[in-house]
Amino acid sequence: MLTPEERQEIEAEFPHYPNKRAVCLDAMKVIQRHRGWVSDESLRDLGEILDMTADELDGVATFYNLVFRKPVGRHIVLICDSVSCWIMGYEKLCQRLTSRLEVNLGGTTADERFTILPIVCLGTCDHAPVMMVDNDLYRDVDPDKIDEVIEKYK
Amino acid sequence: METPLTRNIPTNGDGPLNLKGYEKAGGYESLRKALHMPPADVTELVKKANLKGRGGAGFPTGTKWSFVPMGKDAPHPKYLVANADEMEPGTFKDRLLLEGDPHQLIEGMIVAAYAVQADIAYIFLRAEYTLAAERLSKAIAEAYENHHLGKNILGSTYSFEMHLHVSAGRYMCGEETGLLNALEGKRANPRSKPPFPQVSGLWGKPTVVQNVETLCNVPHIVNNGPDWFKSLSHTADGGTKLYGVSGKVKHPGLWELPMGTTIREILEEHAGGMRDGVKFRGLLPGGASTDFLTGEHLDVRMDFTEVQKAGSRMGTGTMIVLDDHTCPVGMLSNLEHFFAQESCGWCTPCWSGLNWAARILGTMEEGRGQPQDLEKLEFQTKFNAPGHTFCALAPGAMEPLQSALKYFREDFERHISEHRCPWK
């Protein structure tokens, strides 16, 4: 069941669009904000509010890179693997990060602290290589100082 | 040298101007002016200024607006959408405008909307631009409080609503018609054209979609006139342009310069030239989906016409530099992997062809390339040429590939004959 708080936040999106369907991505993001990811059950519950089937919602959800249909860690690390970052040392950064956290790209650490995902160009190419942790952007990341970033997130 | 787009943007890391500060700096003057003009006159000014779309395609903005049905029989609501889904690899210009001066975008949107008599606007923002989302939300709220948005704007008869839509990530959402599907809560597959969005766009209603930088130019054209706007430029395309450089140059960055500034000036004067110890080999002039240019093209002026004459496109105007310590095949492998991953899967040449190209390049990087691979790659550049696909994603993906096969052919051949990447 969606919580009253989730329902309220989803309904607050309705005035921004002419129909309920258009709210579906915002609604999935509301659920994700509260639960970290969007489960099959959440899609069924959401479908009742938006008059959509869970399958229709899943069809939308699976198109978007940042709707998570599997459980993720407490913090999301997005590491840019696009061209400018690749030229400026993405591979070394990625290798340091995955070996430091003992997890492959796309995976979640055993303590569920981090999920590491590749992301397309983050639009900060003059400060490559670039990564994000949750809402925080890190520019000119030095692979040798990756611990300083990691330690900020518990 | 005038820099209208970036003049209010703090360089010391401070936040953007609030509405009061923005108005003190002359902001919202163009809105006051436009509200006293017939809408068609606003479109005419933009046409005369020769403002071309800054998202990459360079379509004349005023002409686009003139396709929108006008008059009392026109369908309503009409929509205006700011495309703030900046995701073209190597592109980092709209971020500055969104974070640095949100009211400039809002003003540009209201004036553009007034010209086409739109009723509702969306800013379609990529999810990762979290700071921009925060600042835009605040600026939109301020604009409503001060009657710059909402019913009877600044006491006029014109009413206009604005919403911020934060997307959930996918390159395809930046494609005009894919964006419309995304806003409707669907997968961001492209739509076939015609009908064009200006006639039948969001929920079947007339819709104008413009890039952020394009919209930010509009207030300055209305304030200062088309002749002033054209005088900012070195060439026939009007205005200034945000140019950027990334890669192994001394000072990667972003600068507002006269439209038509040469590649050499941007690269050598503003970006400081190549880092010590590395040599220039080529560049993608405007994001990942543009053709390589090389040393012989350094005196080309960066505008929509001149770069095209040199065999590429200005695209977004943010260059990605290839140096001699970086493997061109590796770079292509990275680029085609990106395009294959971001293909929406809607049409076959794209989902099939891009994956094929990406795999060939990946295999070649690992030293397992075959002599016939070059032919296969060349076949893909034709198979995915414009006109063979629903949208511009795959043809764009082929631009760096076809030009790399031309300029860096020896490097591809060495990968195959030496069974390894010479850079590893």
Q: Is A92 helix (H, G, I), strand (E, B) or coil?
A: helix
ipTM above 0.95, yes or no: yes
Tell me the sheet residues that pair with B258: B240
For residue B222, pLDDT over 90 is answered with: yes
Q: Find all residues with CB under 8 Å of A89, minimum gap 6, and list them.
A: A128, A129, A143
- Architecture of domain B328-418 in this structure: Up-down Bundle (1.20)
For residue B270, pLDDT over 90 is answered with yes
CATH T-level assignment (fold) for domain B240-323: Ubiquitin-like (UB roll) (3.10.20)
Q: What is the tens place of the pLDDT at every residue in B276-308? A: 999 999 999 999 999 999 999 999 999 999 999
- What residue in B sits closest to A28 (Cα-Cα)? B168
Same fold, B19-231 and B328-418: no
pLDDT of residue B13: 83
Residue B76: what residue type?
H
pLDDT of A12: 97
User: How many angstroms separate the CA of residue A72 from the nearest CA in chain B?
Assistant: 16
Residue of A nearest to B123 (CA): A16
H-state helical runs in B26-101: 29-34, 39-49, 61-66, 94-100
Give the C-alpha separation, B96 to B94, whole Å.
5
pLDDT per position as a tens digit, B30-43: 999 999 999 999 99
Chain B residue numbers with beta carbons less than 8 Å from the beta carbon of A91 are none
Instruction: Dihedral sign for Cα B397, B214, A29, A109, please.
Output: positive
Q: Which of B23, B21, B26, B51 is nearest to B221 (CA)?
A: B51
Domain boundaries, chain B: 19-231, 240-323, 328-418
Q: Which of B136-175 are b and which e, b meaning 16 or more Cβ less than 10 Å from the residue's Cβ?
A: beebbebbeeeebbeeebeeeebebbbebbbbbbbbbbbb
Q: Is pLDDT of B316 > 90?
A: yes
Model-level pTM greater than 0.90? yes
- For residue B246, give the nearest of A17, A78, A84 by CB distance: A84
Q: What percentage of chain A reaches a pLDDT higher than 90?
A: 99
pLDDT in tens, B132-141: 999 999 999 9
| Closest in A28, A83, A127 to B288, CB measured | A83
A41 contacts: CB under 8 Å, gap ≥ 6:
none
- Is the Cβ–Cβ distance between B115 and A146 less than 8 Å? no
- Record: contact A63-B188, CB cut-off 8 A: yes
Q: Between chains, do A63 and B89 touch, taking CB under 8 Å as contact?
A: no
Nearest to A123 among B86, B184, B288 (CB): B86
- Which listed CATH number (3.40.50.11540, 3.40.47.10, 3.20.20.70, 1.10.287.3240) goes with B19-231? 3.40.50.11540
Instruction: Kindly list the structural domains of chain A, giving each domain's residue range(s) and its CATH number in brackets, ordered by start.
Output: 4-61 (1.10.10), 75-150 (3.40.30.10)
Distance CA B97, CA B212 (A): 8
